[in-house]
Amino acid sequence: MKVYLGIDIGGTNVKIAVVSPRGMVRARGVLDTNPSDGPRRTFRRIHDVAGSLLGARDDVRGVGVGCAGLIDCDRGWLSSSPYRPVWENTSLRGIARRAFGVYTAVDNDANCAAYGEFRCGSSRGVRDLVFITLGTGVGGGVVCEGRLLRGAGNYAGELGHMGIKENGPRCHCGSRGCLEAYVGTSGLLRTARRWMRVKKSPMLAKWLAEGQRLTPRLIFEAARRKDPAARAAVSEAGEHLGVGIASLVNIFNPEAVVIGGGIAASLDLLQPRIEETIRQRAFPEAVRMVRILGSKLGNDATAVGAAMLAKDALCEGP
Amino acid sequence: MKVYLGIDIGGTNVKIAVVSPRGMVRARGVLDTNPSDGPRRTFRRIHDVAGSLLGARDDVRGVGVGCAGLIDCDRGWLSSSPYRPVWENTSLRGIARRAFGVYTAVDNDANCAAYGEFRCGSSRGVRDLVFITLGTGVGGGVVCEGRLLRGAGNYAGELGHMGIKENGPRCHCGSRGCLEAYVGTSGLLRTARRWMRVKKSPMLAKWLAEGQRLTPRLIFEAARRKDPAARAAVSEAGEHLGVGIASLVNIFNPEAVVIGGGIAASLDLLQPRIEETIRQRAFPEAVRMVRILGSKLGNDATAVGAAMLAKDALCEGP
């Protein structure tokens, strides 16, 4: 049976999925890796894990690799990698092709996830979509008329580094007031701490006193239990997200904005404020056409999207 | 000889250009129109003017129409028009086709101008470009891999309504802190007036005392003559533009950002601050790839781009 391998190279682990031509995940594995291991060594291990996931009759037609960092996807070249500096300036495509002996597509992890959601996610059938992934950082990918937006050097889609407030807080990228500076993990924690000084916080304050660490998960959990400070922080995050998404709605006029990443599970808490803010800020004609959706593929998005990129590049049918 | 007609429908006048297959303007005419005239009547007059511009051996292969407003370019349908409300909900394509009897392409004026710059402007050969037009409003168009970004309903490219400051001044669109609210005409005038209260203004103050009206042109003229208040206003406008363009560079990773509209002639005064701000704010990899350029086509951009859209839709060679 025809299958595609999708490989999601994260900071500390690698996710490997065996994906059907229709984008169903037939098997998945996770490999804990040492970021300082070189790419050849890591790909030999990926190859072994993939071998154990494949069935006897599986015929691997292509491999897709999604990796954080700046990637020239025409050449499959990783030029800069935040989590694996020793991988910089290598041909991921060359290494993967040697390991697997089949066609390999390589792209940025957020682009792969956007493509996965486009091809197999909750926005299936939509041809214009914006994908935002919320985690430590805020990443993004854009599909226009069914094609990934890549830009001149495949650096397009850095939606987390759209400035939403000229003189806002410093962002890791060196700029100020980026969307990521507000709704990336450290921005969220800063917002919650500020609200804890102003509002009552029976849950969060108690949990922190008990020695728990403040995390986005904890904030959303407290908001779900109606902790006033946590609710204010989540509402504020929803507004910042809404401001950013409103700009994206005016820029791209998409049919769907898909939110992925760790926070996606709590999208129900953010969504009302996001939607209210978009209605206040974006063009009504464009607002009417767009839906805000949670990621359907979740943790599989990058691997499934990478596999689909390989499949579509090969122009293979179902 | 094969030619294409490009028609730029503005608020009070209509520009008509006879365009060669290579995008050279062979002849141009302007028609003063009454915005309350219906589209059929206006297109009969456009037809007459075009007839007078065409040579005996000219063979009109196609017509392109660029018009302000919300346009469904698949159907050639104008659904909303800021300057010509009586034209709303009409098939511009149908009307133009009846007038000229040839294939007609219809699109938003800023999209046409972006396409004109892409095909025939200073960024010729560039496949990823962002076009921003500065005037009363701030419009935009984006070309990705040689194709206009249209979005689900052809409303994409509203770059002037990207929010650059969450709680900034009210914008005509109903939102706050849009790029247009800072660098559209009324934003520019507000900025200049503010600086005139703070800084010396030997030119501007004198000209206003002499009864001249404050306009963007006057501000740039004073800045060119080193009027301190005008220079501060222009520098501030350059910074706001830089903030917006930095976001667009991170989002689109374009090879060129082309600035058109009335202010483009003064781009040399804005450019240093724009470029400084982009370098401070956008990803260095993306900054290295992008050039900030003035429009080459100027007032012809929309007509030439519309003509080229018609030509390219017909897949005709040179």
| Residue B318 pLDDT exceeds 60 | no
Q: How many CB pairs under 8 A join A and B?
A: 156
Q: What is the mean pLDDT of residues A74-92?
A: 89
Q: Residue B190: exposed, middle, or buried by beta-carbon count in 10 A (0-12, 13-18, 19+)?
A: middle
- Which tokens in the block code for residue A316? 């293979």
Q: What is the mean pLDDT of residues A247-263?
A: 95
Distance from CA of A109 to the nearest CA of B (A): 16
Contact in structure between B256 and B293 (CB atoms under 8 Å): yes
Task: Give Cα separations from A204 to A209, A213, A271, B214 (angstroms).
Answer: 8, 10, 22, 55
Interface test with A, best of B127, B155, B191 (most A CBs within 10 A): B155
pLDDT tens digit sequence for A274-295: 999 999 999 999 999 999 999 9
| Residue B88 pLDDT exceeds 80 | yes
Task: Give Cα separations from A162 to A25, A165, A181 (angstroms).
Answer: 33, 9, 10
Contact in structure between A89 and A78 (CB atoms under 8 Å): yes
Distance from CA of B166 to the nearest CA of A (A): 6
Contacts of A172 in chain B (CB under 8 A): none
One-letter amino acid of B179: L
Write the residue in B79, B153, B158 that is nearest to A251 by C-beta: B158
Predicted TM-score of the model (pTM): 0.94
| Residue B124 pLDDT exceeds 80 | no
Cβ–Cβ of A166/B164 closer than 8 Å? yes
CA–CA separation, A54 vs A102, rounded Å?
15
Closest chain B residue to A168 measured between Cα atoms?
Answer: B165
> pLDDT class for A79, splitting at 50, 70, 90?
confident
Cβ–Cβ of A161/B283 closer than 8 Å? yes
Residue by residue, what is the 3-state secondary structure of chain B?
CEEEEEEEECCCEEEEEEECCCCCEEEEEEEECCCCCCHHHHHHHHHHHHHHHCCCCCEEEEEEEEECCEEECCCCEEEECCCCHHHCCEEHHHHHHHHHCCEEEEEEHHHHHHHHHHHHCCCCCCCCEEEEEECCCEEEEEEECCEECCCCCCCCCCHHHCECECCCCECCCCCECEHHHHHCHHHHHHHHHHHHHHCCCHHHHHHHHCCCCCCHHHHHHHHHCCCHHHHHHHHHHHHHHHHHHHHHHHHHCCCEEEEEEHHHHHHHHHHHHHHHHHHHHCCHHHHHHCEEEECCCHHHHHHHHHHHHHHHHCCCCC
Contacts of B164 in chain A (CB under 8 A): 163-166
CA atoms within 13 A on the CB side of A186: 8
Q: What is the pLDDT, as a whole number, of residue B317?
A: 61
Cβ–Cβ of A127/B155 closer than 8 Å? no
Task: Give Cα separations from A187 to A107, A130, A181, A215, A217 (angstroms).
Answer: 27, 22, 5, 11, 14
Q: What is the mean pLDDT of residues A94-108?
A: 95
CA–CA separation, B108 vs A294, rounded Å?
32
| Residue B180 pLDDT exceeds 90 | yes
Residues 6+ apart with CB under 8 A from A59: A1, A2, A3
Task: Give Cα separations from A149 to A141, A204, A293, B147, B251 (angstroms).
Answer: 7, 40, 20, 11, 9
| Residue A268 pLDDT exceeds 90 | yes
Contacts of A181 in chain B (CB under 8 A): none
Q: What is the pLDDT, as a whole number, of residue A63?
A: 97
Distance from CA of A208 to the nearest CA of B (A): 31
Radius of gyration (C-alpha) of chain B in whole angstroms = 20
pLDDT tens digit sequence for A111-149: 999 999 999 998 777 999 999 999 888 999 999 999 999
Q: How far is it between the farthest Cα atoms of chain B?
A: 62
Interface test with B, best of A71, A154, A155 (most B CBs within 10 A): A155
- Which tokens in the block code for residue A306? 């990478």
Q: What is the mean pLDDT of residues A194-219?
A: 96
Task: Give Cα separations from A298 to A127, B234, B310 (angstroms).
Answer: 20, 47, 43
Contact in structure between B182 and B171 (CB atoms under 8 Å): no
Smallest Cα–Cα separation from A280: which of B170, B90, B22, B99?
B170
Q: What is the mean pLDDT of residues B304-318?
A: 88
Q: What is the mean pLDDT of residues A76-82?
A: 87
pLDDT cut 90: percent of chain B above it: 85
ipTM score of complex: 0.93
Map tokens 């974006």 to a residue.
A282
Closest chain A residue to B278 measured between Cα atoms?
Answer: A175
Closest chain A residue to B164 measured between Cα atoms?
Answer: A164
Phi/psi for A266 (5° steps) reads: -105, 20
CA–CA separation, A52 vs B89, rounded Å?
61
Write the residue in A163, A280, A283 that is nearest to B243 by C-beta: A163
Distance from CA of B101 to the nearest CA of A (A): 30
Q: What is the pLDDT, as a whole number, of residue A316?
A: 67
Beta bridge pairs of residue A70: A80
Q: What is the mean pLDDT of residues B219-228?
A: 97
pLDDT tens digit sequence for A162-196: 999 999 999 989 999 999 999 999 999 999 999 99
pLDDT tens digit sequence for A46-55: 999 999 999 9
pLDDT tens digit sequence for A84-95: 889 999 999 999
Closest chain A residue to B247 measured between Cα atoms?
Answer: A162
Write the residue in B158, B167, B251 that is nearest to A157 by C-beta: B251
